[in-house]
Amino acid sequence: MQKKHLSILCLAAFLLFALAASLWADDSEFRLIVTKNSGAVGARFHVNLEMRAPTTRTLNSLTIDLTYGPELTAFATNPDSNWFSATTGYDLSVSKLTSPVNYYRVLVTGNGIGKSGAGTPPGFNVTTTWQRVVTLRWSIGTLSPSYNVAFVTTTDAAAYFDNLANNPEGDLTEWATDTKAGAALKIATRVFLHGPYSTTTHSMTTALNPAYIPLTSPYSWDPRTIGAIPADVTDWVLLQLRSSTTGATIAARSLFLHKDGYLVADNGTTTEHTISSLEGVKDYYLVIRHRNHLAVMSQSGVTLNTTSPPATYDFTTALNKHYGGDARLLEAGVYGMYAGDANGNGMVQTTDKNVDWRTDVGKTGYYGADMNLNSMVQTTDKNSYWRLTVGKNSQVP
């Protein structure tokens, strides 16, 4: 008899565990997608709060809290826009709160769903694909390579009507919720600049180093300052991540370009870099910018994750590594970024020669018109670089 009772208890425990596992597997999921990042103090930073479910169901209510770092400030007016479709019947709000930390509280309550009749007005159907709930807006207070927006997981909650008529008198179902958290992504990448590249050494010159390369990065997206310029570095570059070819910049990092083409850290040797992204582990397009060369982007999305060794993307080995299929052939089998964009506007035009080069010709230092990065603005910059590239535009959308 004792063995029988034990068997029944074990079976009951197993069934309860299986039931709990099945309920937990049936999660509602939330994620953040950056839709606007202006990269300027006082400008805007927008994030879509999106959700999905394992099966289609009608939303009754949800509550989400999102914290944000000191680099962002609460939007001056309503921090919300672009609420989901079929909002009739819902009470919607985003509150700006400051205690215990800065955070936005998103509330959705379906008080009016089905009140005028069964299914009238209808509720919002959460489907198995990602859908926007609301766009959240901040102002950029301080420039940062990434912005610390995160879910407060203790507040993640969603409830659904479980009857087809969307009648609020019917039963509600609360589901386990899960959030797609941001991640510290690992990346290594390589690129050559046409201007300083030498076919003799198969590498780039370091003529600007150390006298002329500034200690503060020239890129406003991540204008950080270091104590000393590392050896064998050609110049600063900017690495950016995008979710899509035309999407907003999710994160950016100022790095050094080693003479061998690898983007390196402040020590001049480390090629593995960590970039924080609100959107976590996924595929990203890589964009590399230089102050007087045309920006390039990876031909396709690169899967980035948090592990080492990192994903590596080498722009130098083939034309089809470049979005738009356009890059400067430096020597057989080696490709690089076009020189000649003295003013850094993404186009090589007559203004690069007539305004920038003509103004600075004869000067020595850190100038955009120094297209081969030898520290001097000379006729060779115009004749050997600008003239070969004039009329070209960056292929980065």
Give the number of other CB atoms < 10 A from CB of residue 222: 21
Percentage of the chain with pLDDT > 90? 81
Residues 172 and 202 in one domain: no
Q: What does 348-382 look like in DSSP terms, one character per residue?
A: --HHIIIIIIHHHTT-BSS-TT-TT-SSB--HHII
| Residue 276 in domain | yes
User: Would you state the pLDDT for residue 294?
Assistant: 98
Mean pLDDT of the chain: 91
Report pTM. 0.89
- Does residue 190 contact residue 315 with C-beta atoms inside 8 Å? yes
Among 130, 154, 179, residue at a domain's last position: 179
Residues 105 and 229 in one domain: no
Across 145-150, average pLDDT = 91
User: Would you state the pLDDT for residue 168?
Assistant: 74
Stronger pLDDT, 14 or 136, i.e. the higher one:
136
Q: How many residues does the chain have?
A: 397
User: Would you state the pLDDT for residue 26?
Assistant: 58
Asked if omega into 309 is within 30° of 0 (cis), the reply is yes
| Residue 13 in domain | no
Residues 165 and 197 in one domain: no
In the DSSP assignment, the letter for residue 153 is G
Residues 163 and 189 in one domain: no
Residues 139 and 243 in one domain: no
Q: Where are the beta strands (DSSP E) in 217-281?
A: 233-242, 249-258, 263-264, 273-277
Q: What does 41-57 look like in DSSP terms, one character per residue?
A: TTSEEEEEEEEE-SS-E
User: Would you state the pLDDT for residue 287?
Assistant: 98
| Residue 141 in domain | yes
- Give 116's pLDDT tier (boundaries 50, 70, 90): confident
| Residue 66 in domain | yes
| Residue 251 in domain | yes
User: Would you state the pLDDT for residue 16?
Assistant: 31
Residues 350 and 272 in one domain: yes
User: Would you state the pLDDT for residue 154?
Assistant: 85
Segments forming the whole domain that contains residue 260: 183-389
User: Would you state the pLDDT for residue 24?
Assistant: 37
pLDDT at 25 > cutoff 90:
no
pLDDT digits (tens, 9 = 90+) for 187-241: 999 999 999 999 999 999 999 999 999 999 999 999 999 999 999 999 999 999 9
pLDDT at 11 > cutoff 80:
no
Residues 84 and 116 in one domain: yes
Distances (CA, A) of 69 to 94, 98, 140, 149, 380: 17, 11, 10, 7, 47
pLDDT digits (tens, 9 = 90+) for 79-107: 999 999 888 999 999 999 998 899 999 99
| Least confident among 46-55, 156-165, 264-273, 356-365 | 156-165
| Residue 46 in domain | yes
Residues 97 and 210 in one domain: no
pLDDT digits (tens, 9 = 90+) for 338-372: 999 999 999 999 999 999 999 999 999 999 999 99
Residues 338 and 235 in one domain: yes
User: Would you state the pLDDT for residue 51?
Assistant: 96
| Residue 20 in domain | no
User: Would you state the pLDDT for residue 164?
Assistant: 72
* Dihedral angle computed from the Cα positions of residues 52, 108, 45 and 295, in that order, rounded to the nearest 10 degrees: 20
Among 121, 146, 179, residue at a domain's last position: 179
Residues 344 and 216 in one domain: yes
Identify the CATH number of the domain in which residue 108 sits. Answer: 2.60.40.680
Count: domains in the chain: 2
| Least confident among 34-43, 161-170, 225-234 | 161-170
Sheet holding 311-314, edge to edge: 273-277, 183-190, 311-314
Residues 76 and 195 in one domain: no
Highest average pLDDT, of 52-61, 174-183, 349-358, comes from 349-358
| Residue 229 in domain | yes
User: Would you state the pLDDT for residue 14?
Assistant: 33
pLDDT digits (tens, 9 = 90+) for 230-266: 999 999 999 999 999 999 999 999 999 999 999 999 9
Residues 149 and 265 in one domain: no
Among 179, 205, 228, residue at a domain's last position: 179
